[in-house]
Amino acid sequence: MSVPPEIIDLVFSFLQSDPTTLAICSRAHPSLSSSAERLLYADVVVFDNEGNTDKKDDRQTFLASELHRLLIDSPHIANYIRKLEICLSSRAATGIAPILPMLPWLDGIFVTATYYGYWQCLSTEFLDAFTNRLSSLKEVSIIYFDYFPLRVLDGCKAIKSIGLHRWADDWIHENDLQVVPPVLDSLSLRSWQPHSLDSRFMDWARKRIHSLRFLLFHSSNGLAVNVVLPELLRMCSNSLISLEVNLSDGVHSPMFVDLSSVPHLKDLTIRSNLHNTRQGRKYWFAFPAIIQLLETTLCLNNLTLKISNSPLYDELQFNLTYWSPLLTFFSRSSDKFRHIEIQLCHITSNTGHLIPSVDTLPRLYDSEIVSDLIAKGILEICTNEWKLY
């Protein structure tokens, strides 16, 4: 008796994080291969031919030459690839350009690199191939590249999500502001730095983020957080439901971000470092700034705090007294939050060596406030890893 395809698809959906098993299933029987391959190749990572493949996670990972050969030998797989992360090790981007026109159903492109560089310095062949694919994409993210020309995205009405890394004064030109822009659902700004021409970027954003639902804003610069971020929040105050911000050692209290102006905000993620400073080896914590920000919230479904130790000062000793103001605030304002998750992020080097970090988890459980919030089902604490490349 044959099994309906939708049942097979449902079973395989539980194996998305197990590519080895999916690969075995794809070879086990012809009736299984289509369903298994559709999940196996939906989200692919490709390195240029000068790079070294580094398996980041459970996704299928290839050198450009390997993926190109696979698509030639098994052209049906091109129909399954919906998201493509491109990892560049050099400006030549060798082998990437021929792949892009082979993927007819591609929804998202994410370009990252093993180095910081200027977008314009990449090979003309790659830039042309990238630009020619934009019209049908829904999601574009550019990481570790400055000077990305935003003008190439205008006119691409299908794009709903944009991710950018920093910005520079020459990516917006006079004529760019006259083109019909995409209206975004999601905007991610990483390593954001204030600039004398911020007003030009605000003009660009004002036409594109009035319906924004998700905003990620990471900056180590207090001016950017306290000036640029509030202005962005005002532009999408009636639509935004999810926000992620980074409060690092460059962002101090007092904060000038008022989240009460975003009435529909339901999910808030705050990233921060837990470390001591260079000057006098004194402790620095973002908790005062975090508390001040949280005091302006209305009612959140989910609050996530991602706290990492510093890779520079791995001998930091944990002291519960530094957490006390934050924990007291949670206890006093627990009616504001349906769920709070604290993620304690340990850092590993590119060799896989675990950088020693504070033994935070057991000591947090020593707090009566923590025990009470966990018992009420409000608080959850877990550990995670960040990998340094």
Query: Average pLDDT for residues 16-28, to the nearest whole number?
Result: 72
Number of other residues whose CB lies within 10 A of the CB of residue 366 = 9
Contacts of 133 (CB under 8 A, 6+ apart): 100, 101, 103, 106, 109
How far is residue 269's CA from residue 246's CA, in Å, rounded to a whole number? 8
Residue 75: pLDDT over 70: yes
Least confident of 8-12, 240-244, 379-383: 8-12
Angle at 169 between CA 197 and CA 233, to 5 degrees: 50
Instruction: Grade residue 296 by pLDDT with cuts at 50, 70 and 90.
Output: very high
- Lowest pLDDT segment from 66-75, 164-173, 299-308, 376-385: 164-173
CA distance 20 to 26: 10
pLDDT tens digits along 221-231: 777 888 889 99
51 or 280, greater pLDDT: 51
The CA radius of gyration of the chain, in Å to the nearest whole number, is 23
Whether residue 54 has pLDDT greater than 70: no
340: β partners: 303, 379
* Total Cβ atoms within 10 A of residue 135: 11
The average pLDDT across 95-100 equals: 96
Q: Indicate the average pLDDT of the chain.
A: 80
Per-residue pLDDT at 373: 92
Task: Report d(CA 186, CA 172) in Å as an integer.
Answer: 20
The reported pLDDT for the residue numbered 300 is: 95
Q: Model confidence at 170, in pLDDT bands (50, 70, 90)? A: very low
Task: Give me the percent of the chain exceeding a pLDDT of 90.
Answer: 40
Position 231: which residue type?
A: E
Q: For the ranges 100-104, 134-138, 273-277, 372-376, which has the lowest average pLDDT?
A: 273-277
How far lies 164's CA from each of 85, 153, 204, 251, in Å?
A: 14, 12, 14, 20
pLDDT in tens, 344-371: 776 554 444 444 444 555 567 778 899 9
Q: In this predicted structure, what is the pLDDT of residue 232?
A: 94
More confident residue, 20 or 208: 208
Per-residue pLDDT band at 388 (split at 50, 70, 90): very low
> Which pLDDT score is estimated for 251?
64
pLDDT tens per residue across span 300-340: 999 999 887 644 444 444 556 678 888 999 999 989 999 99
